[in-house]
Structure 1
Amino acid sequence: MENIEHLYEEYAQTVYKYLFSLSQNADLSEELTQETFYQAMKTIHHFRGECKISVWLCQIAKHLWYNEINKKNKTRSISIDDLEIPVHTGKNVEAAVLQNEEKLALFRMLHRLDEKTKEVMYLRLSGDLSFSEIGDILGQSETWARVTFYRGKQKMMKGRSEWNSD
């Protein structure tokens, strides 16, 4: 039991950041972090040590996240209370529309990247994870994460100039 407590103290923040980068929801990320360590405690005897413990924990977290998505997709219904209608006045409307268009353009460019680069970009931009943490999660080095992020930015910049010239 002490081992799980030690693992939790050492890796809970990494798992939480990873889940937050996927879900963009603090409450859900906290809940799934707790569930990740519960599942880890139940299956620790299956851990073979072929990867870092942080990678193993993030894999459990990712599976829990996928299960959560599948569960929500099966029971998806939208109530009027779920809709967020922003209230804007005057120039704020224009600024909000421009900001939304910029976000959409960014996500379109991210979507065009290969899977590994896309995952690095999401973890860095949405999850606010360090390159070291990203490398650990993806089973790569910190340098690999830095280079992948840099190349992803370069591809996006190139794509942006091509996209804008159309």
Structure 2
Amino acid sequence: MHAFRLLVEKYKDISLSLACSILKDRDKAEDVLQDAFVKVYRKLNSFRGTSAFATWLYRIVVNTAYNALKKEKRQAFIRETEVDLPETKEPEKYEDLKREEQQKYINMAMDKLKADEALVLRLYYLCDLNSKEIRKITGFSNSKIKVDLHRGRNNLYRQLERILGTEIKDLL
């Protein structure tokens, strides 16, 4: 049980980010994450090791998030996008504050992207996965992954321009 707790601690932040990119709601993403980790715990003995553990785990998280999204659409609930604002810090921690500010704007812009584009961008940049690993997790074709990366980058930049205007060059 202690070993599983360590796995949860190691992978929870990235897994939560993946679920958030699909669901666009942190509370729902946390619920999905809890469900996904329960599935992982129950199916741990079925992990064959043909891929990295992280790939297997992220696949479960992504599938669980998509299933929750489908269920939500069937029930015709209307979602609202939430943005987590960073806690205020002491003024002498300017670099930390600047980094948090950058992350806030990036998250706001990512929330405006199509779910597939945001997911592929997060897997590629946040999880540092290659297209083969992304394909295993998402089931997307290589061409879809490349298109989503290209469009996602362009759309992310456009969203940041809308949010920040001319300040975008200072932020990035």
State the distance in 1 between where 2:21 and 2:58 align: 12
- Tell me, yes or no, if structure 1 residue 139 matches structure 2 residue 137: no
Structure 1: 5+ residue stretches without partners: 85-102, 111-117, 141-147, 161-166
1:20 Cα deviation (Å)? 0.9
What code does the residue aligned with 2:127 have? E
For these two proteins, the number of residue pairs brought into alignment is 118
Q: Is the 8 A contact 1:19 1:61 kept in 2?
A: yes
Q: Tell me which structure has the larger Cα radius of gyration.
A: 1
Aligned to 1:20: 20
Superposition deviation, residue 66 in structure 1:
2.1
Note the aligned Cα RMSD (angstroms).
4.1
Structure 1 residues 149 and 17, CA gap change in structure 2 (3 angstroms): farther
Runs of 4+ in 1 over 4 A off after TM superposition: 148-151, 153-157
What's the CA shift for 1:7? Answer: 0.6
Contact 1:54 1:137 in 2 (8 A): no
Instruction: Return the alpha-carbon distance in structure 2 between the equivalents of residues 155 and 132 of structure 1.
Output: 14
TM-aligned CA distance change 1:150 to 1:57, over 3 Å: closer
The equivalent residue for 2:48 is: 48
Tell me how far 1:40 sits from its aligned partner.
0.5
Give the structure 2 partner of residue 122 of structure 1.
118
Identify unmatched segments of 5+ residues in structure 2.
82-108, 135-145, 159-172
Q: Secondary structure at the match of 2:127?
A: helix
1:45-124 to structure 2, matched below 5 A, reads 45-76=45-76, 119=116, 121-123=117-119
Aligned residue number for residue 3 of structure 1: 3
Of the candidates 134, 146, 150, which is equivalent to residue 152 of structure 1? 150
Taking structure 1 as the reference length, the TM-score comes to 0.54
Instruction: Answer whether contact 1:55 1:137 (CA < 8 A) is retained.
Output: no
Identity %: 20
Take 1:21 and 1:42, find their aligned partners in 2: how far apart are those partners?
A: 25
Moved more, 148-157 or 65-74: 148-157
1:155–1:137 CA distance, 2 compared to 1 (3 A): closer
CA distance in 1, matches of 2:52, 2:38: 18
Q: Deviations over 1:77-101 (max 9, x none)?
A: 56xxx789xxxxxxxxxxxxxxxxx
- Taking structure 1 as reference, are residues 149 and 75 closer, same or farther at Cα in structure 2, changes over 3 Å only? closer
Question: 1:34 maps to what in 2?
Answer: 34
How far is 1:23 from its partner? Answer: 1.2
Instruction: Indicate conservation of the 8 Å contact 2:36/2:60, yes or no.
Output: yes
Comparing 44-53 and 65-74, the one that deviates more: 65-74
